[in-house]
Each structure stands twice: as C-alpha cells, then as structure tokens.
Structure 1
Amino acid sequence: MHPISTAAKRKPEPIMWTRRELDAILRVYGRFVAQGEWKDYAIDGLKAEAVFSIFRRHSEVPMYAVVKTPADANRQGQYKVVAMGGQILKRGHDLAQVLRVFDKKKFQVID
C-alpha cells in the first residue's frame, strides 16, 4: 500500500468569486436595489461553479443568477446570466460584458 498524500485527502475548494468579480456584480445589483426592483441576494460557492442569485423578495426563488463556471472558460465562456426559468440570457468570457444584459433598454423585470 502507498500512503495517500494529504493533498489527495482534502476536499477540493469550492469555486468562488474574486473581489473584482463581486465588485462588478454588486455595482449592477446596487443599481437595481436603488430602483426598488431587487431586494435580496445569495452567494454560493459550489464544487463546479460560483452562483450569485438575485431575488425580488426574500422568500422567493431567484429571478436571475450570475454563474461562474471555470470549466467552460475555454468553450463558450465561464460567465453567464440565467433567468428564473433556466433560460441563459447572456454568456461570455468577460464578466462586465455579460452583466451588460441588465443595461438594455428592452430589459424588463418580470413580476
């Protein structure tokens, strides 16, 4: 038997947002909070992705989720914005560009 190294025994670290990524997301979030559109958020660091969920009210399911999936970085981009029904609204390699989906004039908050 070969001894298992301590690195092999440890659980993999969850995927999480960097400070720069959170700053970009919170700027958009703060704008909609100031308009009274969004009321709450949740941040989850999971095994394969990081999720920033956006809620209209505290007790509801999230209206939108900003998702970071590093495994998709070389394909369609590691960032995406997903609507409540699972529809991907925008996807890409640059978080700031993906978050611009919320800047569109035709963008409306679903009630």
Structure 2
Amino acid sequence: MSAGLGPGGTGQIVAFPGKTAASPVGFDREELTRILDLYGRMVAGGQWRDYAMDFDRHAATFSAFRRAAERPNARIEKRPTLRNKQGMYTLFGEHDQVLKRGSELSNVLAPMERRLVKVVED
C-alpha cells in the first residue's frame, strides 16, 4: 500500500495493482493436537519416525514417514475450498491413494487409528 496526498492535501491510501497475497491455510490448535496425538502413538508403535508439515494458500499438509528418505507413509491434507463438496480433510496412503475423505477430522483419521490398534494387538 502507498500513502499519497489526495485533493486538498489529505492523506489517501492507494493499493498497488497486482495480486494480493493470500494467507496460507493452516491447522488450528485442536486439529494439530489430534494429528500429533496420533503421530505420537504411531511413533510409540514403531510405525512412524518423522513428519513434515507444508502450508500454502490452497492446503495444509501433514506427512508422516517411516524413514526420512522415503515417501510419506500417510498424508493428511486440509483443503477448505472442498468444505462444501467432499469434505475439507483427506487421508492419503503411502502410494497417494485416497483412503478417506470427510468434513470431520476424527472420521478421516479412523483408518490410521484402526491400523494402530492392529499394531498393538500383534
């Protein structure tokens, strides 16, 4: 934004032409707590060892890795633009297959929760 003098010497704010920067999508505290709780239990179960988060203006992504040099074992994506269509949360598997979509994070994380129960039972 640029401030200039308008008619009569009053200050006037004029926006520069061009694109306005959209703020990145992120996880709120409750979502992140839920995701990191699952991550901690998967680490304790020996399934995951590392994670990464990526935030851009379209989506927030949490990726969990078995080893840092691999593809993510699971990826949780939040895309608010899909809120009214198929749900803003998506759980992707190791080979980028969609495992679950929905508007409730707890329902989308359910397949990973079930996997964790299987690991504990073994």
Which structure has the greater CA radius of gyration? 2
Settle same-fold status: TM greater than 0.5: yes
Moved over 6 A (4+): 106-109
Code of the residue aligned with 1:47 in structure 2: it is: R
Q: Which residue number in structure 1 is paired with residue 85 of structure 2?
A: 75
Aligned equivalents of 1:69 and 1:27: distance in 2? 21
Code of the residue aligned with 1:79 in structure 2: it is: Y
Q: How many residues align?
A: 107
Structure 1 unpaired stretches of 5+: none
Let me know the Cα RMSD of the aligned residues: 2.5
Q: Is the 8 A contact 1:101 1:107 kept in 2?
A: no
TM-score, scaled to structure 2: 0.78
- 1:77-109, Cα deviation, whole Å (9 max, x unpaired): 000100121210011000011111112259878
Given candidates 94, 110, 121, the residue that maps to 1:100 is 110
Q: Which moved more, 1:97-106 or 1:16-25?
A: 97-106
Structure 2 unpaired stretches of 5+: 1-12
Relative to its length, the structure with more helix (as a share) is 2
Aligned equivalents of 1:30 and 1:50: distance in 2? 19
Q: Is the 8 A contact 1:12 1:47 kept in 2?
A: yes
Aligned equivalents of 1:84 and 1:31: distance in 2? 18
Given candidates 50, 57, 64, the residue that maps to 2:67 is 57
Aligned equivalents of 1:108 and 1:84: distance in 2? 18
